[in-house]
Chain A
Amino acid sequence: MSNKEYVGGTEGMKILDEFLLNIQKPSRYIGGEVGAVVKDKSKVDIRFAFCFPDTYEIGMSHLGMKILYGLKNAVPNYWCERVFMPLPDMEEEMRRRNIPLYALESLDPIKDFDFIGFTIQYELCYTSILEMLDLAGLPVLASERKELTPIVCGGGPCVCNAEPIADFFDLFFIGEGEEMNLEVMRLMEQCKKENCTKDEFLRRAAKIEGVYVPSLYDVDYNEDGTVKSITAKETAPKQVTKRIVRDIDKMYAPESFVVPFCNIVHDRAVVEVLRGCIRGCRFCQAGFIYRPFREKEKSTILHQTKCLCENTGYDEVSLSSLSTSDFRDIEGLLTDLTEYTSKNDINLSLPSLRVDRFSDEVLKKITDVRKSGLTFAPEAGTQRLRDVINKNVTEQNVLDSVKIAFEGGYTNIKLYFMLGLPTETLEDIEGIYDLAKAVIEQFYANPNRKKGRPVSVSISLSTFIPKPFTPFEFEPQLDEESIKQRQKHLISVANDKKISISWSKYDTSLLEAVLARGDRRVGKAVYAAWKKGCKLDGWDEHFDFSKWQEAFRECGLDMAFYANRQRSYDEVAPWSHINMLVSRDFLIEENKLAHKEVTTPNCREKCSNCGVSKCVGGDICRAIR
């Protein structure tokens, strides 16, 4: 075993060569892929370590990372590199050999970079962030990192309530990162020239729209544990307003990807077609925080598809958005795209189709969809409850869609539902079974059904998790006992061999609910859980709930306070200094409508005045035009 200090580069490679063959799938840890950007260090002024706090296979599938990677590397004197969470076999060897976390392009230790940026896609990766910082050789607490560099920053959906991880980060990017990442990097270039302190850099960064510097805010609490006030210090804005890109056709989109050597979760070209969502399902955080609705021009999408396929060599491309079938001219888009893809032996896949727009024409055009199974997400078992959550899908919509699917040769239908939705009763639970039964009946009603292959319906149950910036941010998450009782009830009524039922673990959902709506004090528990060895919490095989319970107990914090408590409309939310453009009044109004079982039309039918248009100007939201 070499005793040399790990300095990265080609010397680092020699040290990695000593043991990498004993590691599972070593190509994940060595870079060198086609499309990986390698620059001459001596000509680079700002180095950015883009960290995904999960495995290579998951992180490399993420479109946001590819966009920001390409965008930063398009600037000649900036160099952005990729970093992922090593699995335990790799991490153990790295720690044993004193190899700090390094970036895949240069193999250089990331502690020497100017920025260490995390994309934070789900709450259960928080401990992995701490693990990565520690493995890099850095103090995990922002207050203990005194130097100007590295600045530890974060972005992604979770940072709309970043309070539980505020102690670990120097700054957060609220909203779409395309423009502000570069602005903050330019500021760093300037500050390095001027020999600024870290504090000076952060004070100046806080003036950039969308940049949230948590250390510039003080939080006070009421005696009952709720937040009393959040006060901005010095020149920091009272509220940090989410940043958006105003013209998504002119916005940077990657024309090439890093093409991995090993299989990853989504191993294909991905083209973003629209941002935002017109639907407004009341449980869905993405549906609110990614507003306003903007779609790209057909020609932009076609051009980007061609570039990506040609530059990556992928033979599969998928369209990405929250709801691709809401693209205004979906039929025209698919006609244009399939003309190109079929000529070039490329498969086109469309992951997020809504049931009510699942037309015959669309189905025919996606030639590659495998004929084994199809997934629909009615989310709730009865029309009443679907109205409560504003999932504007009727039983007839679902049945019409599965009819088309059955005629197309499918025999296995997967149905997604949530348990513990606001106002849910046992009648709604029974409705889940009724819907599954109706799907099966639909199969037998088809005279041309496949003989010999039996129909099957898989019911997949998750636990409802109330999220910030949704109309359900006030709602309690149902406690474990009630969830279990509802699961049992469904099993007892759904006694049918053609129906299988599976559900997610409650512990995981509970922790997600706690972290999603936690305040700054929850950071102490995150830290304590990490100290106890928690990491990769999103993986069943690594998740240890008992450690989390101990951590909360030791910190004097109650999970139920964060997850299972009804919050009043006038309570100060821990995230109330963050403005995601959707107004709080609108969320309250939507919450009231939910309890009245009244639906809200989608944004294309009628603007519901969510507040976004007022903030960004009426011409940006393209739901109605």
Chain B
Amino acid sequence: MTPPRPGDTPRIDEADARPLLVDDTSRDASPLLRLLLGLLAGATAVGIGLVGVVGGDRPALLPLLVADHLEESGVSNPVTAVLLNFRGYDTLLEIAVLLAAMAAVWSLDRGSRQFGRPSGEPEAQPVLEALIRVAVPVALVTSVYLTWVGSTEPGGAFQAGALLAGGGVLLTVSGLVRPPTAASATVRAFVAGGVAGFVLAGLVLLPITGAFLAYPEGWAYPMIVAIEVLLTLSIAVVLVELFVDVPAVPDPDPSLDALDSSGDPLGRALAAAEREDRP
């Protein structure tokens, strides 16, 4: 592994990260510390268990409140009503957290990876491909059903998006579909579409009902379904992209390293622009 120079952020080589997959107990806590931490963990378990089991039997107000206002929410599943109507703002922020995680992962620049069959390998992956043949269509149909049925039965955007992402990860990791990349505008549109659509809906409603994300009379159900569809697609793309993305920019050209010490394309472009500006 080449030692890093000050100021450069080299693209990591997948082989360098191999130690992460090999168990190594050399840095674990000593037996004494282990015992103390075991006692601490045991005390935590006892504490949480006691509070949960014996803790105050105050009557909870929220379930009754939700049940009282369920008809106004536009859906008959109380969880979906809470997620997309009563606590819609929380859901918006959760989707924004997904977007933030995506931005952080994209900035990590984990390096190029090969998925699926390495070129030149004659044998296929029969078990994986048979699993994909069965699992991916089922995942696709079930996720569409889950998005739709979330208004009456347990279901909704998050479950459907996660299921769709599972199918997507199967497809990309096996090499049958090219993995998504941040360079693709479609991928970026889907990743940002969840937050953007949700915020746009709220802003559009602001002059109509006077409050951000307050659904007008009778419009709650169609708006919830529309937002759920948008969220399902966005969550699915974000989850797949979080785990199987490939870098957006090609590896930096090593011949240019002689001119400047920055290893990333943006740094090179900035250095080149600076050189042009200098008289």
- Report if A and B associate in a common complex: no
